[in-house]
A and B are shown apart, each in its own frame.
Chain A
Amino acid sequence: MNARTLTLGLCLLASPIWAQGFAGLGTAADGFALPQSPALFNFPEDHGPHPAYRIEWWYLTATLTGEDGAEYGVQWTLFRSALAPREAEGWDASQLWMGHAGLTSSEAHFSAERLARGGIGQAGARPAPFSAWIDDWAMTAIDPEAADALDALTLTARGTDFAYDLDLTATGPLIFHGDGGYSVKSAEGQASYYYSQPFYSVTGTLTLPDGPVAVTGNAWLDREWSSQPLSERQEGWDWVSLQFDSGARLMGFTLRQTDGTAYTAATWIEADGSTQAYLDGALTMTPLAVTDVAGREVPTEWRIELPDRGLDITTLPLNPQAWMDVSVSYWEGPIRMTGTHPGRGYLEMTGYD
């Protein structure tokens, strides 16, 4: 059994970018539910899994600083990928789970991956008390009294040569992307449910080959689920989550299309949590420099413009080699912005195979 081939296939299922092209899965989602506008959320239930939808993720990125001022980035992701729109029981593998963990310093980048099937308890998510886990990696609510289940979390993950254990406390509300959480992903109308908690402050410990490092910083959690989020014409995406020194935040993405055009969207988040969604064309992301990463040309420096906000910034990676060497590999790492709105953030780029 070639586990790699299989996991590759699994990632094809899990990753929104490639989902459309995978044999046996048409864009018409057979039996799966489709996101509807307007989006109506029901918490805490919606923090948990939605097995009727094909794909879903709990996606956390953190920009961290050690006591000596050294910068770090941490990624923790749990993907759910449904082969059939039903709850899994026992060995039934209708719900598959995949975890990715990344840890980036200026000198090194670590990544790890876990796979599991739902139904036996090895991986899963539940809304109350909130927990999302795969093996011993977990994102778990620690304050049952909190206003929102996601307000206070612990986060753990472990690879063969690294580990981390972080405490997260939200300092602002959940925010909703697109039209109240209904996020359109293409001109053809593909969409997903998409909300975030971008206001975490973080304390915790990273375990590196040289020993433990105490860190503090910020984190951003994305929650998204859908059944057919992308168009067949889309071949990859470049996504950023940015925290400006001013306290405002920005989520933006560019979906690269096969005809050379791009589909963009952005959400401007004020420090108090009020948001403004920007539709296709408002945001521009322009690659400035490419780096040879794992034998590929990957644009690691970007110019990002949002004229409506007077934003014109340049992003530089903490470590241009932040390559996630997992079943389907991609670039994901912490960045620093200069220009009109300095700050720190995270950049994810897929489809550069």
Chain B
Amino acid sequence: MIQTAVSTLLSHWRRHPGQLATLIAGLALATALWSGVQAINAEARTSYAQAAATLGQDSLDRLVSASGRPVPLAEFVALRRAGYLVSPVISGELREGEARLRLLGIDPLTAPPEAGAPALQGEALDLPTFFTAPGLLLMEEETSLGSLPPGLPEIVLREGIPPGAALTDIGTAARLMDQHDPSYLLVARVQPAGLPPLEQATDLRLERPGATTDIASLTDSFHLNLTAFGLLSFAVGLFIVHAAIGLAFEQRRATIRTLRALGLPLRSLLVAISLELAVLTLFAGVLGLVLGYGIAAALMPGVAGTLRGLYGATIPGTLSFDPVWAASALGMTLAGAALAGAQALRRTASMPILAPANPRAWALASARSMRVQALVATACFATALALGVWGGSLLTGFAALAGLLLGAAMILPASLGLVLHLTGRGARGALAQWLFADTRQQLPGLSLALMALLLALAANIGVSTMVGSFRGTFIGWLDQRLAPELYVTAASLDEAARLRAFLIPRAQAILPIVSAEVPLSGRPGEVFGHIDHATYRDHWPLLQAVPDAWDIMASGQAVLINEQLARFADLSLGDPLEITPDLTLTIAGVYSDYGNPAAQAIVTLSRFAETFPDVPQTRFALRIAPEDAPMLATALREDFGLPTDAVINQTQIKRFSMEVFEQTFLITGALNVLTLGVAGFALLTSLLTLADMRLPQLAPVWALGLTRARLAWFELARSLILAALTFALALPVGLCLAWVLLAVVNVEAFGWRLPMTLFPADWLRLFALALLAAALAAAVPALRLARMPPTTLLKVFAHER
């Protein structure tokens, strides 16, 4: 019996292979989108974790010199001879034209086990060659295929080394980098018994893991954004799956009725439908996984470039297959299908055996469910609002996001119905009235597809606003931090004095960089001393400031603090801030300081020198005409004799960072277009399905004298109007989304708020895209209607039910 039922149900697909294709394509696309984003996300996170784990960056303390220069070799040997387990690392970048290679020179003899990268596992390495000149470089195959600087020793391929980097013996790194002293020392977690604390044994600065870089939290921010995108595509995908399954059921309403009328037990029918659904979903899901993998693999180099350029976190540009994301993506498709299928089964079960397939009656019945949806939507909005305002945690931030999206999707059919009802009342003439009535008639069938479109549009607006704001923030941050053209570091006070003398005739301004670590409002913090210079006045954007803040600051009576400090210590303008027990200054301004987790304050250089007389002024930022910067850098290295890494040309770094950041737009742009494409596809399938079902409505209108061409134009116009209305609702939802991400989620996650920037030009572009998607989706059924043989329309009357 079930066999017969299944074959009957399947016969529908044999007669309508196009419908089968759209159903499978819909499911597969939804899976692809979700799994693609998931794959990128998972890969980036794994790779980042792996890169961080190399050399125990994630778990080991480090000793660095306070000046930022290399640690003297004698200092390392002295610590070892005192019994401390520290291990030297020489790291840096080899550059020759475009070719670059990051070198990590470690001392395997002293490296703590936690510093272990899996490089030497597996086949035995020729140790004498590794340890003695010219040495060996271990790198991934991908790195070895790229453009590498000349003059490298033999390369051995090893898995698990960050892309663009080579792992080697410290002796080999020392030779290649021409650097004798370790860049820093790794500190083993367990030190021998009976030694005094390391801090007492050395003047080197001990850096705890995690606090080493203010880049870590920016990387987190990027991952968070990816996660948010994953969430959005999940929601979009879920709606599409729901729509595809729901439509497959609607298309076969008549078949099901016939089967039941022929005596097929309800239970057998339900089993047959479930079976069919499971098989189709599995097939489409696997197809979607393949597609998703393709999407992710295509986008991965961009993600890798972004992370590498922005954060120095290297991840491979290639994708490895991870069964976890594959399973989770397939699971999502199955769950979505089960959810949608359950509703279809429920309807089948509750359908009277001989119910006429009467679309209008169905539409009327769905008016009730529309009201229920509106109520649910209101509840969702209220919850989202409450969570957004009073939530106070990352989880509630995401919950607010979910509530907002779900509510917006739920309210859509009711809103569209209301708008159509109100405008329809003003319609003059029978044709116009029919047009509005017919559009409302179509709403229930299109509502799921329109919800998907709404979510896609909202996600587009939200994410592009967020990314755009993030980009603006990032540019500001770069300008703020990297305004001076060159940064130089002297090894000693003597050298600093000579350096100053050397620079005075050559640079427009020499800005000393001094800082001291002090607790600020009970948290670890840093105080900087600045001279009064236009560089700061022009480039440090103040979030809040008293009038003439820079002048007051220059007088030495005030302090500027970063946003993080202001937020966690709840400080505002005019409040006193204790720098040291002897020095308390008034807060004159709060500046944005993205990416830095620690508290920070700025005082004048003279104040600083009084307060911290022991901090040497050996680092300087130089202002100079940008075109002269490379020449001065060369002069500093060749004529003055500073080591290569003691002179940094920041304009190059900035340009490189910006180029890489643009990659982010390619990624989000590609994802946006994909999401929109999937939503457009859902619209297409819905319209195709409705086209067949609507013939009984269209035939009388045609019989009354309206040409097929005009009817087709009406169809097209109707889709455009619905898309435009959906966009009108998506805009505020998308902006709310961006606001929640920037102002709630980011603050909870990082302690700073990204300012929201609006991009109306993007909205216009998106509006055009939405209309285009709707027009493309409606074009096929409209064209088909325009070319429909009159006999088909006439048949409607012959087959009048």
Q: Give every chain B residue within 8 A of A93 (Cβ-Cβ).
A: 109, 131-132, 169, 171
State how many angstroms separate the Cβ of B459 from the closest Cβ of chain A: 43
Query: A96 is contacted by which of B83, B129, B131 (Cβ under 8 Å)?
Result: B131
Is A120's beta carbon under 8 Å from chain B? yes
Q: Is the CB of B193 within 8 A of A3?
A: no
Residues in A neighbouring B117, C-beta threshold 8 A: 1-2
Q: Is A38 an interface position by the 8 A CB rule?
A: no
Smallest Cβ-Cβ distance to B124: which chain A residue: A23
Select which of B115, B174, B193, B195 is within 8 A of A1 by beta carbon. Answer: B115
With an 8 A cutoff between CB atoms, is A5 at the interface?
A: yes
Near A by CB (< 8 A), chain B positions 96-153 give 106-113, 115-121, 124-129, 131-133
**Which of A159-167, A183-191, A223-231, A274-282 lies on the face that meets chain B?**
A159-167
CB-based contact B109/A163 at 8 Å: no
Q: Does B192 contact A (CB under 8 A)?
A: yes
B80 with A122: CB separation less than 8 A: yes
Question: Which chain B residues border A307 with CB–CB below 8 Å?
Answer: none
A135→B127 contact, CB < 8 A: no
CA distance A91 to B105 in the complex (A): 11
Q: Which residue of A lies closest to B118 (CB)?
A: A2
Inside 8 A of A2's CB, which chain B residues have their CB?
116-121
A92, CB-defined interface residue at 8 Å = yes
Q: Which of A9, A120, A122, A163 contacts B127 (CB 8 A)?
A: A9
Chain A min CB distance to B147 (Å): 26
* Residues of B close to A122: CB separation below 8 A: 76-77, 80-81, 110
Whose C-beta in chain B lies nearest to the C-beta of A138? Answer: B81
Flag if A1 contacts B180 (CB, 8 Å).
no
Interface residue from B77, B82, B175, B194 paired with A120 (Cβ < 8 Å): B77
Separation of A23 and B126 alpha carbons in the complex (Å): 7
Whether A83 lies near B77 (C-beta < 8 A) is no
**Residues in chain A near residue B108, CB distance under 8 A:** 1, 3, 6-7
Q: Would A3 and B170 count as touching, CB distance under 8 A?
A: no
Name the residue on A nearest B83 (C-beta).
A136
Q: A3-B116, A90-B171 are in contact. Are A9 and B193 (CB under 8 A)?
A: no
- What chain B residues lie within 8 Å of A133 (beta carbons)? 81
Question: In the complex, are the beta carbons of A207 and B193 less than 8 A apart?
Answer: yes
A25 contacts B by Cβ under 8 Å: yes
Q: Is B167 an interface residue (CB 8 A)?
A: yes
The number of chain A residues with a CB under 8 A from chain B is: 38
Question: Would you call A13 an interface residue if the criterion is a C-beta within 8 Å of the partner chain's C-beta atoms?
Answer: yes
Q: Is B501 an interface position by the 8 A CB rule?
A: no
Chain B residues with CB under 8 A of A83: 127-128, 131-132
Asked if A129 is an interface residue, CB under 8 A from chain B, the answer is no
0/1 per residue, A290-323, Cβ < 8 Å to B?
Answer: 0000000000000000000000000000000000
Contacts of B190 in A (CB 8 A): 160
Q: Is B670 an interface residue (CB 8 A)?
A: no
Selected from B77, B116, B132, the residue in CB contact (under 8 A) with A94 is: B132
Q: Which of B133, B175, B180, B192 is close to A158, meaning CB atoms less than 8 Å apart?
A: B192
Chain B residues within 8 Å of A3, by CB = 108, 111-113, 115-116
CA distance A83 to B127 in the complex (A): 9
Partner of B83, one of A23, A25, A135: A135
Whole-angstrom distance from the CB of B454 to the nearest CB of chain A?
52
Say yes or no: B120 contacts A160, CB within 8 Å.
no
> Is the CB–CB distance between A207 and B171 below 8 Å?
no
**Chain B residues within an 8 Å CB radius of A207:** 193-194
Does chain B have a CB within 8 A of A174?
A: no
Residues of A within 8 A of B193 (CB): 158-163, 207
Residues of B within 8 A of A149 (CB): none
A287 within 8 A of B: no
Give every chain A residue within 8 A of B113 (Cβ-Cβ). Answer: 3-4
B73 within 8 Å of A (CB atoms): yes
Known: A135-B83, A158-B192, A161-B193. A1 touches B110 (CB 8 A): no
Task: Find the residue from A10, A91, A122 having the highest chain B CB count within 10 A.
Answer: A91
Q: Report the separation of the CA atoms of residues A285 and B267 in the bound assembly, to the nearest whole angstrom.
A: 85
Other-chain residue from A5, A92, A158 in contact with B194 (beta carbon distance below 8 A): A158
- Inter-chain contact B128/A84, CB cutoff 8 Å: yes
Contacts of A9 in B (CB 8 A): 124-125, 127
Taking CB atoms and an 8 Å cut-off, the chain A residues in 121-160 that contact chain B are 121-122, 133, 135-136, 158-160
Nearest neighbor of A23 in chain B, beta-carbon distance = B124
Residues of B within 8 A of A260 (CB): none
Q: Mark A72-101, 1 if CB is under 8 A from B, else 0.
A: 000000000001100000111110100000
Determine the chain B residues whose CB is within 8 A of the CB of A117 once the complex forms.
Answer: 107, 109, 131, 171
- Chain B positions 167 through 181: 1 when the CB is less than 8 Å from some CB of chain A, otherwise 0: 101110011000010
Q: What chain A residues lie within 8 Å of B115 (beta carbons)? A: 1, 3
The chain B residue with its CB closest to the CB of A94 is B132
Measured CB to CB, the nearest residue on chain B to A121 is: B77
Q: Is the CB of A135 within 8 A of B171?
A: no
Is the pair A120, B132 in contact by a Cβ cutoff of 8 Å?
no
Asked if A115 CB lies within 8 Å of chain B CBs, one says yes
A24 within 8 Å of B (CB atoms):
yes
| Beta-carbon contact of B192 and A163 below 8 Å | yes
Q: A2-B119, A207-B194 are in contact. Are A135 and B109 (CB under 8 A)?
A: no
Residues of A with C-beta under 8 A to B171? 90-93, 117
Does A33 have its Cβ within 8 Å of any Cβ on chain B?
no
B142: min CB distance to chain A, Å: 19
Most buried by A among B81, B112, B195: B81
Q: Most chain-A CB neighbours within 10 Å: which of B83, B112, B195?
A: B83
The residues in B between 51 and 75 inclusive whose CB is less than 8 angstroms from any CB of A are 73
The answer, yes or no, to whether A116 is at the interface (CB within 8 Å) is yes
Residue numbers in A under 8 Å from B125 (CB-CB): 6, 9
Complex contact B192–A92 (CB within 8 A): no
Within 8 A of A (CB), among B687-713: none
Contacts of A5 in B (CB 8 A): 120-121, 124
Nearest CB of chain B from residue A193's CB, rounded to whole Å: 23
Residues of A within 8 A of B83 (CB): 135-136, 158
Of all chain A residues, which has the CB nearest B74?
Answer: A121
User: Least Cβ distance of B202 to chain A in Å?
Assistant: 15
CB distance from B86 to the nearest CB of A (A): 10
Query: Which residues does chain A contribute within 8 Å of B192, judged by CB atoms?
Result: 112, 136, 158-160, 163
For A92, the chain B residues whose CB sits under 8 A away are 132-133, 171
**Chain A contacts for B119, CB-based, 8 A:** 1-2
Whether the Cβ atoms of B109 and A10 lie closer than 8 Å is yes
Contacts of A4 in B (CB 8 A): 113, 116
- A162 nearest CB neighbor, chain B only: B193
* Complex CA–CA separation, A158 to B125 (angstroms): 31
Within 8 A of B (CB), among A8-37: 9-10, 13, 23-25
**Using Cβ atoms and an 8 Å threshold, which residues of chain B touch A94?**
131-132
Which A residues touch B107, using CB under 8 A? 117
Residues of chain A lying within 8 A (CB to CB) of residue B175: 91
With both chains docked as a complex, state the minimum distance between the C-beta of A54 and any C-beta of chain B, in angstroms: 11
Contact between B132 and A136 (Cβ–Cβ < 8 Å)?
A: no
Please encode chain B, from 550 to 577, with 1 for each CB lying within 8 Å of some chain A CB and 0 for all others.
0000000000000000000000000000
Q: Chain B residues near A10: list those with CB within 8 A.
A: 109, 127
Check A24/B116 contact, CB under 8 A, given A3-B111, A96-B109: no
Do the beta carbons of B124 and A135 come within 8 Å of each other? no
Q: Which residue of B lies closest to A98 (CB)?
A: B109
- How far, in angstroms, from A7 to B110 measured CA to CA in the complex? 10
Interface string of A167-182 (1 = CB under 8 A from B): 0000000000000000
Contacts of A161 in B (CB 8 A): 193
Beyond A84-B132, A90-B180, A136-B192: 10 further Cβ-contacts under 8 Å? Answer: A1-B117, A1-B167, A3-B113, A6-B120, A83-B128, A91-B174, A116-B109, A117-B107, A122-B77, A163-B192
Question: What are the 7 A-B residue pairs with the smallest beta carbon separation, nearest first?
Answer: A91-B171, A136-B83, A115-B109, A93-B131, A6-B108, A83-B128, A9-B127
The 19 sampled A-B contact pairs (Cβ below 8 Å) are: A1-B108, A1-B119, A3-B112, A3-B113, A3-B115, A4-B113, A5-B121, A9-B125, A10-B109, A23-B126, A24-B127, A24-B129, A83-B131, A91-B171, A122-B81, A135-B81, A158-B194, A160-B192, A160-B193
